[in-house]
A and B are shown apart, each in its own frame.
Chain A
Amino acid sequence: MEGHAGLAEHAVAYAERRGFDYAEAFIESYTGTFYAVEQGALNSSSYFEKTGIRLRLIRKGRLHVFATNRLDRRTLERAIEGSGGFSGADTGLSEESVQRASYRIREKRVADGPRILEDLVALDKTLGGERHVKFRSVYGGAGRTTSLMVNSEGSRIESSVPRAEVFVSMIVGSGGQTRQRVLQLGGVGGYEAIEPTGIETRALDEARTLLNVMEHGVTLSGSRLRSIKNVVISPEIAGIAAHESVGHPDEADRVFLREAAQAGTSYLNRDNLGMGIGSERVSIIDDPTIKGSFGFYLYDDEGVRARPRKLVTNGAQDELLMNREYASVLGTRSNGASRSDSYEHEPIVRMANTYLKPGGATHEELISEAGNGVYIKSFMEWNIDDTRSFSRYQGSEAYLIENRRLGRPVKNYVLETTTQRFWHAVRLVDNEFELYLGNCGKGEPMQGVPVTMGGAGALLSL
């Protein structure tokens, strides 16, 4: 990265000389391996190594972004010279303190490509040995992203972050039925993030659970499903709901309609900020600083220091996720949510690790308090509308709760309700804390950034 620092500094200085009010250069280098083993066949074995630079330039409110892997001064100078004008734009940036920092996350154990491949082949073989696993695909890889950001205000942030992940998809069949499950495991770090024993155990457990649901699960009638009022959700369900129905609508670029034609809008707007989202038991946080988490970072792409963001506090909408543009609109400071998935794309407002804050109850107390109802532990199919008001989580693994105890699996439970009903129904929150991986898509071109979602489980009385 040091070899390219001069190029970044030159680009920023050149843009300043050409009259830009703000200039930022972001150089990024990525190296990584990826493997795909599907039904016993190695369908991808690859290594990627890429370095490029992104410039963000603002003049009179007009934002231009230029990205290239042609790392020469003339290419950048031409791009700066060619950034033409357009009328009406008013992009501004919040005042932020100058930051100069450098951090490097070290792997505890190096994620060696062939070793990952060996593990994936072994995992595929193990799953293939399970009679009821009809189809299986296992993917995995590891890489390191190193970046340098310099801007015309004097900030300079260097970072180097390794990530490793394994993705498992399987379809389990029995008696003419099939059920599918995907698992994504990993985090910031090296081989320790994808330790094979844990993944194999988890995958086998999940496969046997699907089988149990198919062989012993009950299919509830429509009227019985409608009569279910008490629902216990696991950290996995709480996490996807927190991500989809709270995290996304709290992204300031949705609230102010910059993403309206792409990733969508929000039920929030300038006039209802601070509105009630849920019961007072509900507090939802997005925190990029959780060590080892998939969504980890210490400074965002604009060089703003990361910190936990309180999206919902005791049921009321609290902070929006902001970059400098929307902090400027709101007359405040950025809370460090500006991220891109690579130097090729513009940084936009993103989540990191979003979770339902744990409460004081135990999981057993949630079940007991529910009395009769359903415990929904995992999901496969989910979706939500443009404004993030109406969501659905289809239970992959769910159980009846009868007389304060867990009963038989339920095959066809679907939690489909509005954001307001969902979060206002939260009566109790347990003291568990788990995070689940995801790659969150947003922007155009689509950018997938690593995130996690989870937190505690909860009892909902709908």
Chain B
Amino acid sequence: MEYNAAYVERKAMAAGFDEAVAEVFAGRTSYLKIANAKIDSIVTMDERNAFLFVTKGKRVFRTNIDRIEPGSIGRAIERAKLGVARSVPKDDYYGIADGPFRYGTARKPDRAIAEYDDSTLVDVAQSAINAATAHGADSVAGTLIMATGSAEIETSGGVSARDDSASARLSLRAFRGGLSAQSVAVATRMRELDTDATAAKTVEYIRMASGFGRIRSGTYDVIYAQQPAGLLLSMANEMACIGSVETGGFLTGKLGKEIADRNVMLYDDGKSADLVGSGRFDAEGHPTQRNRLIGGGRLLTYLHNHSTSVKYKTESTGNAGLVMPGPNEMVLEHGNTKKSLDSLVRSVDRGVLVTNTWYTRFSNYLTGDFSTVPRDIAVYIERGEPRFAIKQLQVSSATGIRISDNMIRMLKAMSRAANDTVQTASWDSDGSFKTPSVLVEGVKITTA
């Protein structure tokens, strides 16, 4: 007897639930840490986890299964029976997706990643350290992550599917002459993880500036490099999820409304195989999709699972979430692009190139007012030329500037982009994103 998702789903339905979704995830993920230009440590997680979602009437319940063996499965089902019985109805629940579905060709994870071991990690990391040093970094820190895994799902809606994945992510933070810069490369193919190019790009940000200088608090045109652009814009994907709409986010009440520059095309992509954040199916087995959220300057759709799509009389966007939808990977395309980051810089009269941000915090999710802090080098631009690295504080390597903006205003002021799209990620976010560097006009900056 094989104890898998199908076994769990059958047992759950036999226990009298109206619906059941069983998911089993097995995988291995390693984190190699780089500190002070040396490999510091390797952390590996190797796990098999299962989850069970059940409904009875309008009552819903979710639990995990500690071990995928009959005793633990049986206890989880008993817990679920009790949980459902002692819960309260979710009156706006309308069931899981009705399958079966067609998913297309099964994905074949890159064996070079899927079969990694410690020596693979060490080789890639050491290559990245050497490259950063060769390109001029005084020191380098970072993380190399490799992950391989499989997901299987079985639902009472007729879904029976499996997906395999493998991915790699290299984050490098280089230090040179009191400045720092960080780049993150993500890939589903080992050959696409270019350690030398990642190291070169990281150090190149630092080399863009000659010397240090201070700026005044005021309004500037801001170029966000790919990493901060992705980090900020992926907030739109989160806020497009219908749960965020219902609980008050900056896209609440904005469906069909003009919320962005007409050249902004923003997608939530769970489908494209090259994206680390993609998969064949969502949490109820519905096929994932590439959904255009923003086009022609307008918000085109919210993100739904089956139940919320019924509630709002629309179609699932393949974003389940049980019981509420979640975002996939943010992809930005822009209709007004300059041929490179340098060209974009040359188009700015008075501005700041921001290479990395963190601590993005909202004072009010409904209005979309937020502030964020440039973490690494920020370069002052004047008459199309990078002038100096901004350094407001004497005693610290911090840039000492802060950006305060509003998400809708930012989307509307995103007038152009560079032709430098990459898939990247940030320490400050769970997901990954695919975006070019973008220009946002008229951004408020305060200084220390």
A→B interface (CB under 8 Å)? 38-39, 41-52, 62-71, 75, 79, 82-91, 113-114, 117, 121, 134-137, 169, 171, 178-180, 256-265, 267, 344-346, 380-387, 389-390, 392, 394, 396, 416-418, 420, 444-446
Contacts and interface: CB of A to CB of B under 8 A. Distances in A.
A131 to B, nearest CB: 16
A44 B243 CA distance: 12
Contacts of B358: 264, 383, 386
A259 B59 CA distance: 44
Contact of A389 (B31, B46, B398): B398
A83 B88 CA distance: 48
Nearest to B142: A261
A53 B181 CA distance: 36
Shortest Cβ-Cβ A-B pairs, 3 listed: A135-B248, A383-B359, A84-B118
Contact of A257 (B35, B67, B182, B398): B35
B44 A89 contact: no
A41 B88 CA distance: 9
B363 A346 contact: no
B448 interface: yes
Contacts of A417: 448
A381 B243 contact: no
A261 B427 contact: yes
Contact of B248 (A134, A265, A383): A134
Contacts, number: 249
15 contacts: A41-B246, A69-B49, A82-B117, A82-B118, A84-B117, A90-B38, A258-B35, A261-B182, A381-B362, A381-B371, A383-B360, A383-B373, A386-B397, A387-B396, A389-B396
B375 A386 contact: yes
A386 B398 contact: yes
A264 B86 CA distance: 45
Q: Bin chain B's interface residue count.
A: 35 or more
Given A68-B47, A69-B66, A121-B88, 16 more contacts: A38-B247, A41-B90, A45-B87, A64-B43, A66-B46, A67-B43, A69-B48, A70-B48, A83-B118, A87-B39, A135-B248, A265-B397, A383-B359, A385-B399, A390-B400, A445-B31
Contacts of B125: 86
B171 to A, nearest CB: 6
A418 B126 CA distance: 37
A422 to B, nearest CB: 11
Interface of B: 31, 33-36, 38-49, 59-64, 66-67, 79, 83, 86-92, 117-119, 122, 125-126, 139, 141-143, 145, 171-173, 175, 180, 182, 243, 246-248, 323-324, 358-367, 369-376, 392-393, 395-400, 402, 427, 430, 446, 448
Contacts of A121: 88
Contacts of A62: 41
Contact of A261 (B143, B359, B392, B396): B143
Contacts of B117: 82, 84
A41 B371 contact: no
B122 A84 contact: yes
A49 B51 CA distance: 11
